[in-house]
Chains A and B, each alone.
Chain A
Amino acid sequence: MSDPLLTIRDLSIDIETPTVAAKVIDHANVQVHLGETVGIVGESGCGKTTLLKAILGILPKTAVCRSGEILFEGRSLLDLWGTEESRRIRSCDIGFIPQDPYLSLNPAFTVGRQLNESLLELTGQGAYAELLRMLRAVQLPDPEGVLERYPHQFSGGQRQRLLIAAALARRPKLLIADEPTTALDVTTQSEILEVMRELANETGVAMLFVSHDLGVIRSICDRVTVMYAGQSVETAPADALVNAPKHPYTRMLLNCHPGRSHGFKGIPGQVASPLDPPPGCRFSPRCPIAIAECSRRRPQPLHPSPSQEVSCPRYEIDLETAADA
């Protein structure tokens, strides 16, 4: 495979408060290749959104990068942070679909004014025509009229379509979507996902899709990275991940899904706090097959097959037998 479009390698980020530092991301690895859709899945608070903010350069001032790098087409985004070039990358090469369409549009400006603002860089008239084309593609009727209205005159689903159109109108190389359907009701969710899937196929854009919903991820992504408490624990093709999960956390997470044949099971314990994370593998305190070594050193990624990566030396051990033993 060619060089990846986006590489997040060994990334660690702390959010510092006056008293403590929250270790929100701990040595995370994610890769997105050209034309590929990669999902990041994990529970709330596992660092998914922080990871996206790091790529987009909108981390709070209190965030400190302790290790690792973010490479976009070989350029280090963390080094470019705050420069004109980083802004141009975000303006032209990366499209962003935010989590909450209600809060992501400025109520004081018409939709056209604010969506155009981020497209100014591009080709002026060309970008405007492309925006109109995309508004049609996301099935908003009367695109010219839409642009003259204010955000409060749209429903949540319509706003999310607007934001998708704005993200794609810049013809980005990479599309970043942060739980784009969470704030919407279920029927709207599936419509939006359908629109995104179609447009992604049509334009061939690479996509980084973040969600806590494995079903959504599976329906839209080629590969999936599972995160737990700021660590990326497993990466695999979507089907392989769902059918043959390796990491104990992924296996237990899938068992939580009520529809699975194994029957519904929860994961005992609570998600590790980033304020005082357990040493080594952060899942070890809740892991039924953990050994003393797990909480001493952070496990190195292993490759059960060329397309899979799992950060657990004991991924071959069966959970049931371990629990019974």
Chain B
Amino acid sequence: MATFLFGERWPCFSRLRDVTVLPDLGYGSMVRYIAVRLLSLIPSLFGLILLTFIMLHAVPADPVTSLAGENASPEQVAELRARFGLDKPLVEQFGIYVWQILQGDLGNSIFSNRPVLEEILARLPATLELITFALVLAAFVGITLGTIAAVRHNGPIDNIVRAVTISGLAIATFWVAIILQMVFSMELNWLPLRGRFDVAYPAPPLITGFLLIDSLLALDLTAFGIAAQHLAMPMITLAIPAIATIARFTRSGVLETMQKEFVDYASAVGYRRNRLIWIYVLKNSLSVVIMQLGLLFGALIGGAVAIEAIFDWPGIGSYAVNAILNFDYKAVLGVTIIIGIIYGIVNIIVDIIHAFVDPRLREGI
């Protein structure tokens, strides 16, 4: 029956399912795997666009009336409506929009009248830099804390880590952000209050879009310092809930692995304790954590919206907030699509790392 369902009736599905198991050998099969996974993103993205489109049009708000102003005559409103194509039936609007996307055009912002794609791409590196460094920090701290807690199971360190992780999840990030600003900027004057870079200092040449990396590539340590100082507080604020999540998953993963017989065996035949825990046990425990990293990336994009607003970080989070407030629906759709694509790609990368850590996945065993 299963063969009938998945093997013959929907041959494309069975092929997809086979290939989503990571191949073991060879560059060619890896390329094929990535290509198939990218293709499988398309239906998800289509669903995402459709849903966002419907939701935007279900909301009783109208960009045209606010754009035209209170004194506009009905004729003027109708003319604006026609210019944006809003007078056409919804299905047709949707068709036109999808056709535009297929040509790599996300439309123009209703307010700035500039291409949405261009505006997003200009702001994307700032957000990606913030999220990437927050996630790296969170993974590093979270995995370390979780492992120490598991090794000292039920000891005082474990209890402290548990208390810290629970409060890390419960705490409101905007509150942390404001406290950090009050202490480190306003009291101690160690870190800049907001922004991404010092306007008085020339920015490093744009290569990757990540200021930390670009300044290093330009061998400009002053610029690196400025960028790092600006990044510190928003990064830490964003990382705190992620640290808590990662520490919890690492702790339970390591605790579970420590029960395994191969740990006893390794210990009995004289593995050094540190290598036993930080290499032998940890690699086995990271499966769940790595899956979490993909999900956390999505959560951090959401978290970045508030944090970018507080720290005046010029990323797509603050862009999205403005677009929603102005009901700039092309911009909202554009942000949604770009984040969807990034999220999909990140999860493919996560799956590849996962197979790297767990050899059994490479053969689908």
Contacts and interface: CB of A to CB of B under 8 A. Distances in A.
A228 interface: no
Contact of B270 (A92, A100, A104, A152): A92
B187 interface: no
B266 to A, nearest CB: 7
A263 B31 CA distance: 68
Contact of B268 (A57, A107, A121): A57
23 contacts: A56-B267, A57-B268, A58-B264, A87-B270, A91-B269, A92-B270, A95-B269, A96-B268, A100-B261, A104-B262, A106-B284, A107-B358, A108-B359, A109-B280, A109-B283, A114-B266, A114-B280, A117-B266, A117-B275, A118-B266, A121-B270, A150-B359, A167-B269
Contact of B271 (A95, A105, A118): A118
Contact of B360 (A53, A107, A167): A107
A96 B266 CA distance: 10
A105 B265 CA distance: 8
A217 B12 CA distance: 58
B303 to A, nearest CB: 31
A173 to B, nearest CB: 14
Nearest to B272: A87
Contacts of B264: 53, 58, 98, 104
B350 interface: no
A100 B260 CA distance: 11
B337 to A, nearest CB: 37
Contact of A98 (B261, B270, B280): B261
Nearest to B263: A106
A166 interface: yes
Interface in B323-358: 357-358
Contact of B269 (A53, A90, A107, A150): A90
A91 to B, nearest CB: 3
Interface string A91-128: 11001101010011111111000100110010000000
A117 B280 contact: yes
Nearest to A95: B269
A133 interface: no
A103 B268 contact: no
A324 B266 CA distance: 53
Interface of B: 260-262, 264-273, 275, 280, 283-284, 357-360, 363, 365
A104 B357 CA distance: 19
B269 A96 contact: yes
Interface of A: 53, 56-58, 87-92, 95-96, 98, 100, 103-110, 114, 117-118, 121, 150, 152, 166-167
Nearest to A150: B359
Contacts of B272: 87
A260 to B, nearest CB: 35
Most central of B267, B268, B283, B284 by chain A CB within 10 Å: B268
Nearest to B153: A61
Nearest to A102: B261
Given A58-B268, A100-B261, A152-B365, 5 more contacts: A58-B267, A91-B270, A95-B269, A104-B265, A105-B265
A91 B265 CA distance: 12
A121 B262 CA distance: 19
B357 A108 contact: yes
B261 A103 contact: yes
A102 B260 CA distance: 11
Contacts of A87: 270, 272-273
B262, B266, B357 — most chain A CB neighbours (10 Å): B262
Contacts of B266: 106, 114, 117-118
A90 B313 CA distance: 57
B340 to A, nearest CB: 32
B225 to A, nearest CB: 40
A107 B267 contact: no
Of the listed residues A95, A108, A121, the one surrounded by the most CB atoms of chain B closer than 10 A to its CB is A108
A57 B268 CA distance: 7
Contacts of A95: 269
Q: Which of A58, A88, A106 has the most CB of B within 10 A?
A: A106
